[in-house]
Structure 1
Amino acid sequence: MKQQLIQDQRQILMPLLVQQMEILTLPLPELREKLREEAEKNPLIKLENPVPEGGKWRLKRQSFLTAPDFVFENAADTKGLLDHLREQIHFAGWSEREEEIAMLLLTSLDTNGFLRQDVKDLIQGTDYTLEEVEQIRQKIMRLDPEGLASRGVHEFLVFQAEETFGPESLEARLLKEVPDLLEKRLYSHIRKYYKLSEENLQKVLENLAELKPVPVTGWGESAMTIIPEAFVDVEGDKISIRLNEYYIPDVRLDQYYLSLAENEKLSREDKKFLKNNLNSAKTLIENLESRKEIVYRVIHALVEYQKDFFIKGARYQKPLRLRDIAEELGIHESTVSRVVKDKYIQVQGKVIPLKQFFSASVKNVSQEDVSTKSIHDMIRQIVAQEDKADPLSDEQIVSILENKGIKVSRRTVAKYRGILGIPPAHARREYR
């Protein structure tokens, strides 16, 4: 009897938990579409445009102001993917030449976001070199959405595996070393070659199945809608956060069908139908309230941790892991991952992916963690200020960083320089 009760509870809870996780994962444009679909199939759900006065839900540390104009239902509530990429490039401080090359590549992508054209043909008639174009392509692949300008499905899959599981992970190695065996599903050969147990191989295959086949769909049309989850306002050393509650309609219970459910003349089948839909509607409302609270808590913790970034600039970004935020809030790391996935905040007019605030770290001379992204910014500024007639070598950049308290190897500087699309010293020299 007890076992049956537990099983019944699981059957009830599982759909609720699945919906809760789904709603938490969905970015705002997809969430709005989800609510419209729910309202179409459930007569107890009534959608109303939100009133721009804050609403009843709020946290003590949060104040709601009048909704910004562009989040209302009009032609200005969407941002094209190309504009979104331009903002990221501008925010990262790319040079004018780098931006020109980036636009050349981005406007040459196919509908899935792949670069199929021969670069030699693209740069014909320009003074761009194959080397610098490739450097920019690699940088574009690390923008949001990741993997744009990949050469095809295989390169995109390898890129995702390396970024998600690590360059030396088994997932990445299989894609690079035995793609033909994976494609033909010769799993026994893979197990034998890599000496894997059936359980280990199954886990790797499950991880690979989660990778996206293409960076985007519909590139060049309406490939992506970017709506910020929250607005972060910075005035001096004060930072305020406002959730974007005005893009999503309010979900309410339809009073007509509520009263109808009390009608004793209804058949048992009709009453059951209304009761089931009432429970579904209440669950949806609860899950939406839960989403608001969790999203706000994560963004608030992230902003608090990266306060120097918002006040002083990108070079002050600290290293941060999903686990750090999860431990701070007492929630599971996978929950933080769902909040961060495909979500954005608007900071001083710029829309920034939440995942941009997470990065690995290196130790400075005081054995303190320093974000690799802040080191990227330092290298970019060092090169921007160098004598163009006598550009700095990687060894000289190492010395300058060491004077700033950052101890990294020449190889690391060369790697970061490549990620930033900065050519080596000899290629940066300008003759007068």
Structure 2
Amino acid sequence: MALSPRLDLRQTQSLVMTPQLQQAIKLLALSNLEIETFVGEALESNPLLEMGETSHERGDSGEIATEPSEHDSDGGFDGTEALDIAPGALDPEASPGDQGDGGDWGRAAGSGGISVEGLPDLENRANGEPTLAEYLADQIGAVAHDEREAFVAARLIGELDEAGYFTGDLFALAEELGIPLAEVERALALIQTLDPTGVGARTLGECLALQAREADRYDPCMARLIDNLDLVAAGEFARLKRMCEVDDEDFADMLAELRSYDPKPGCRFGGEGQSAVVPDVLIAPDGADGWTIRINEASLPRLVVNREYFLELKGGARDKQSLSWLNEQLSEADWLIRALDQRQKTILKTAAEIVKRQEGFFRRGVSAMKPLTLREVAEVIEMHESTVSRVTSNKYLSCPRGTFELKYFFSSGVAAADGEGASSEAIKARIRALCEGEDTKSVLSDQALVEALKAEGFDLARRTVAKYREAIGIGSSAQRRRAKKLANY
């Protein structure tokens, strides 16, 4: 059969995303601060766009509409629109004044707060946990023998990297401080006794050895295993078994123990450069047992189209190319305002559904959180699950209990006695409360936590409890026992 060029006509169907649709989807995933940057770039590139006055500058009464309104008749986008959630739309069983037994410890899960005037506290941080240096400094006073040793230890803490390893030069520090090298070494040994175990180590082997000693597993066999980590990485297990003089079962236990240690104990703590979190959504009680939900207007600019300037430019256009460019700028400006307006409505609808589903959290704390998935919210607001995912990414909600990422309210569930299930966040908060309330002489093991939770109606496996405990940064029973003894010293 001869090969020759020819033309064929075919009909096909395909979904094509226009550049404007792609841009609209991108806007959904941006936070208010990122939107502010995007709007700034649009103002520079489009002469028909300009900043409008906020509701405060216009002298509006501040009353909140029950529905998000359309953009203003002048083509403007206002970031002050809000939703009212009436009391009847929420859980009828929730009492507005009922804080429950879990109110106090539930409140601790937040990262920040809200001022008495109802405005978000700009001191909210992305990570409310202390830094590694702060956490170690709090422990020094209880274990240092005198102020001199505490001062040297504090100086050494400044030489730790983010993973908790000591990266400085002991000899150089001794010369800098004008003290004997042995005194600096004693201060480093003091730091190595602090929590988290393994901090202050100079090498990976030393870090793992410190954790093995803490677990009372640092016998000669484990010491030889840790001294030959290069063979572990190379997978030369037969050679290691001969060196450690153990059988297959003991060697498997040693490897499992070794792999359970944290090679970077300092990484569980926040870094020094924590940036302020500006909430995108504000939630406050409306005085009638309901909730007011609004976009944070302080971080969201208002855009308008200067139509007088458009008419002026249109009247001066002398060719089709100039007129076409001007109409294109107008079309882009109108589209951007509509896209921002639609983004706001989508965020408000999503936040309103979150408040309805998680009203127990807003009234009684994290102990009342329920399992919630993106799909459940998407079905109610009649949008795709991926849209809800974009809306809740990199956006924060400020309420009287603190400032939380919207993703925080979505969590898996575990079995509960009431048959409805409980949020994993509620279980984590309960584990934290149990650990904080334990006595020095009766520190709860993971199995004891399982039994305590089971008595409260939560059926979890021990490994699940251990996973949740580690996820919220709570150490093992041995680590907590030592920390409590140091605190009471």
Q: Secondary structure at the match of 2:282?
A: strand
The answer to whether the Cα contact below 8 Å between 1:398 and 1:413 also exists between their aligned partners in 2 is yes
User: Identity, % of aligned pairs?
Assistant: 26
Query: Counterpart of 2:415?
Result: 363
- Where do 4+ consecutive residues of structure 1 move more than 4 Å? 2-7, 54-58, 68-72, 76-80, 96-101, 107-110, 119-123, 125-131
- 403-412 or 224-233, which deviates more: 224-233
The one-letter code matched in structure 1 to 2:67 is L
Q: Secondary structure at the match of 2:372?
A: coil
Bigger Rg over Cα: 2
Query: Counterpart of 1:232?
Result: 283
- State the TM-score, normalizing by the size of structure 2: 0.57
Q: How many residues align?
A: 325
**1:27 and 2:31 correspond:** yes
Q: Deviations over 1:235-262 (max 9, x none)?
A: 6953321221232221111134321254
Query: Counterpart of 1:258?
Result: 310
The answer to whether the Cα contact below 8 Å between 1:48 and 1:252 also exists between their aligned partners in 2 is yes
Gaps of 5+ in 2: 1-8, 69-81, 86-114, 140-153, 170-186, 200-232, 234-266
Q: Secondary structure at the match of 1:423?
A: coil
2:474 is matched with which residue: 417, 422, 425? 422
Q: After TM superposition, give the deviation of residue 51 of structure 1 in Å.
A: 2.2
Q: Secondary structure at the match of 1:132?
A: coil
The answer to whether the Cα contact below 8 Å between 1:394 and 1:413 also exists between their aligned partners in 2 is yes
The answer to whether the Cα contact below 8 Å between 2:136 and 2:194 also exists between their aligned partners in 1 is no
**1:84 and 2:126 correspond:** yes
The one-letter code matched in structure 2 to 1:301 is E
1:114-263 to structure 2, matched below 5 A, reads 115=162, 118=165, 124=188, 129=193, 132=196, 224=275, 226-234=277-285, 237-263=289-315
Q: After TM superposition, give the deviation of residue 285 of structure 1 in Å.
A: 0.6
Q: Would the alpha carbon gap of residues 311 and 237 (structure 1) be closer, same or farther in structure 2, given more than 3 Å must change?
A: farther
Query: Counterpart of 2:67?
Result: 59
Question: For the residues of structure 1 that align with 2:51 and 2:135, how far apart are their CA atoms?
Answer: 48
Q: Would the alpha carbon gap of residues 238 and 24 (structure 1) be closer, same or farther in structure 2, given more than 3 Å must change?
A: same
RMSD: 4.2
Question: For the residues of structure 2 that align with 1:69 and 1:266, how far apart are their CA atoms?
Answer: 58
Question: For the residues of structure 2 that align with 1:400 and 1:335, how far apart are their CA atoms?
Answer: 40
Question: For the residues of structure 2 that align with 1:130 and 1:352, how far apart are their CA atoms?
Answer: 31
Q: Would the alpha carbon gap of residues 377 and 265 (structure 1) be closer, same or farther in structure 2, given more than 3 Å must change?
A: closer
- State the TM-score, normalizing by the size of structure 1: 0.64
Q: After TM superposition, give the deviation of residue 128 of structure 1 in Å.
A: 6.2
Query: Counterpart of 1:410?
Result: 462
Q: After TM superposition, give the deviation of residue 424 of structure 1 in Å.
A: 2.7
Q: After TM superposition, give the deviation of residue 333 of structure 1 in Å.
A: 0.7
The one-letter code matched in structure 2 to 1:257 is Y
The one-letter code matched in structure 2 to 1:231 is L
Q: 1 or 2 for the larger relative contact order (CA 8 Å, sep ≥6)? A: 2
Question: For the residues of structure 2 that align with 1:109 and 1:254, how far apart are their CA atoms?
Answer: 57
Q: After TM superposition, give the deviation of residue 318 of structure 1 in Å.
A: 1.2
The one-letter code matched in structure 1 to 2:360 is D
Q: Would the alpha carbon gap of residues 243 and 36 (structure 1) be closer, same or farther in structure 2, given more than 3 Å must change?
A: same
Q: Would the alpha carbon gap of residues 319 and 133 (structure 1) be closer, same or farther in structure 2, given more than 3 Å must change?
A: farther
Question: For the residues of structure 2 that align with 1:287 and 1:365, how far apart are their CA atoms?
Answer: 45
The answer to whether the Cα contact below 8 Å between 1:50 and 1:248 also exists between their aligned partners in 2 is no
Q: Would the alpha carbon gap of residues 49 and 265 (structure 1) be closer, same or farther in structure 2, given more than 3 Å must change?
A: closer
Query: Counterpart of 2:453?
Result: 401
The one-letter code matched in structure 2 to 1:427 is Q
Q: Would the alpha carbon gap of residues 328 and 33 (structure 1) be closer, same or farther in structure 2, given more than 3 Å must change?
A: same
